[in-house]
Amino acid sequence: MSNVSKIEKLKSLTKRNIIKSRDLSEINNSSWKQAKPYSEIPGPKPLPFVGNTWRFIPFIGDYKIRSIDQLTLKLYKKYGPIVKIEGLLGRPDMVFLYDADEIEKVFRNEELMPYRPSMPSLNYYKHVLRKDFFGNSAGVIAVHGKDWYDFRTRVQKPMLQPQTAKLYAKTIEETADVFVEKSKRLRNNLSEVPFNYLNEIHKWSLESLAKIALDVNLGCLDEPPNPETQILINAVVSFFEKVPILELKVPFWRVFNTPTWKQYIHSLDTITNIAMKHINAAIENLNDKNINNIDNNASLLQRILAMNNDPKIASILALDMFLVGIDTTSSAVASIMYQLAKHPKVQENLYKEVKTVLPSENDKLTVQKLENMIYLKSVIKETLRMYPVVIGNGRCMTRNNVISGYQIPEGVQVVFQHYAISNSEKYFKRSSEFLPERWLKNTTNEEKQDFVKSFNNENTNAPCEFDKNSVHPFASLPFGYGRRMCLGRRFAELEIQTVIAKMIKSFKIEYHYGDLKYHIDTMYIPNGPLKFKLIDR
């Protein structure tokens, strides 16, 4: 494809993806006229010709992609709750939003087909480079408009119903048990796991996902593991590593095939080829059965097929799950384990809860037992508050809007700075402290009330002044919100809760290699080898 043709295709995609929605919701003309002009939004001033793009160029600018978390805090401190970054070569202006009230307004008023400005490089891959494969059913990741709406409408019911996710509790527990046993074998004579333990967590995540989506055992946790699964994991990690480079640096890939772009395409092709091999095998296996005979052991693939009778829809959904479900879930688990290792008192309180719910060695972790683990859920919420795996989300304005008193024209990308907001004293008291207790709340359930009372009596550091009900509902959104909320949320939550409960029941987790700073490395995770010391309980 020629460079000119490539640019024209990108322009066409951008134009097509911004949905014209004036018939859905019209801006109040008086509000628009009274608002401050877009040009007055504070932010770094662009230079002639190069705009603000130079700030992201290594050795020249001071905006580091791996330190986007610190950059967002710096911009907030310097400019306030709304910041404009304009003059970015090859992409629309960005407006950073740090106000939970304003974010709520955007979400509450979003249209039937909201446009999420994520990964135009993946959009190009699906709609241009591999259009013959994806066609008009390109999934929900980096897809917009009617194609996105039609696809999501056909798959969201089984994906977002809590009851559906609960059907996989036994499968998820079995995979978590295998991971615990493998972690035992990985330890050295100091009871430490290897420096690349994050890769082992990736293997657990992939194996768990495959069991849920396809009802197949990929062999990720076998001894020796299936080598193809490591190729798939490497491709997923490489894919996410390339995304910020392609999206935030000068987008030369839009003009010619850069080395980064070639590696990115190779990673996506690898993911597609390996995942589709297993997806097609699962469909072939289902063809020998009555697809409509749904029981509690049915895979998600079978449930989607039974609802839609469309193998393409089921296949692309499963492919999207492989693409974004591995790294996100495993990064969250790694982060939670690190926080528990750095906060032994929190870990001990969690262990007490787990032992109360699972007193004997052979107790099974049912959904009901998980629901009683309110401190476990609080630990997860607190980790994702302070260290969200994805630090920002956003919307591309599909019509003129007024945000924070400023005119925001159609086409501008508004980025919700979740990391900065959820670490702000404005929304969370003692925001820099890891305090899972802040998420405990009063409830009519006597057992939960007794636990809260017992915890507060035993823990002199319990911040009793916190009231979970007073937390702004849009101040911490690790899974997003609204029509484009993470489709796999219910499954990810169940997987994370299960594997953390199992690990804490089996091990006391320690970390003796100093404090790790977080950085963007595919996801927002601790920067360093996760050489946890796992001491048998």
Q: Is 1 domain-assigned? A: no
> Rounded to 5 degrees, what are φ and ψ at 510?
-125, 160
Q: At what angle do helices 259-287 and 300-308 cross, to 10 degrees?
A: 70
Judged on CB neighbours under 10 Å (0-12, 13-18, 19+), 118 is buried
State mean pLDDT over 515-534: 91
> Rounded to 5 degrees, what are φ and ψ at 418?
-60, -40
Percent of the chain with pLDDT over 90: 71
Q: Is 444 domain-assigned? A: no
Instruction: With a cut of 70, say whether residue 459 has pLDDT above it.
Output: no
Q: Is 511 domain-assigned? A: yes
Q: Is 102 domain-assigned? A: no
Instruction: With a cut of 90, say whether residue 77 has pLDDT above it.
Output: yes
Q: Is 373 domain-assigned? A: yes
User: Domain count of the chain?
Assistant: 1
Q: Is 95 domain-assigned? A: no
Instruction: With a cut of 50, say whether residue 23 has pLDDT above it.
Output: no
Q: What is the CATH number for 375?
A: 1.10.630.10
Q: Is 367 domain-assigned? A: yes
Calpha distance 334→332 (Å, rounded):
5
Range of the domain at 259: 153-321+335-381+494-536
State mean pLDDT over 70-77: 96
The helix/strand/coil state of 85 is: strand
Q: Quote the pLDDT of residue 106.
A: 93
Q: Is 221 domain-assigned? A: yes
> Rounded to 5 degrees, what are φ and ψ at 402?
-120, 120
Q: Could you read off the pLDDT of 46-62 as tens digits, one per residue?
A: 999 889 999 988 889 99
396 marked among binding-site residues: no
Q: Could you read off the pLDDT of 111-161 as tens digits, one per residue?
A: 888 888 778 899 999 999 999 999 989 999 999 889 999 999 999 988 988
DSSP designation for 47: B
Q: Is this model's pTM higher than 0.85 or not?
A: yes
Q: Quote the pLDDT of residue 516.
A: 93
Average pLDDT of the chain is 89
Grade residue 460 by pLDDT with cuts at 50, 70 and 90: very low
Instruction: With a cut of 90, say whether residue 323 has pLDDT above it.
Output: yes
Grade residue 40 by pLDDT with cuts at 50, 70 and 90: very high
Provide the H-helix boundaries in 249-310.
259-287, 300-308
Grade residue 442 by pLDDT with cuts at 50, 70 and 90: low
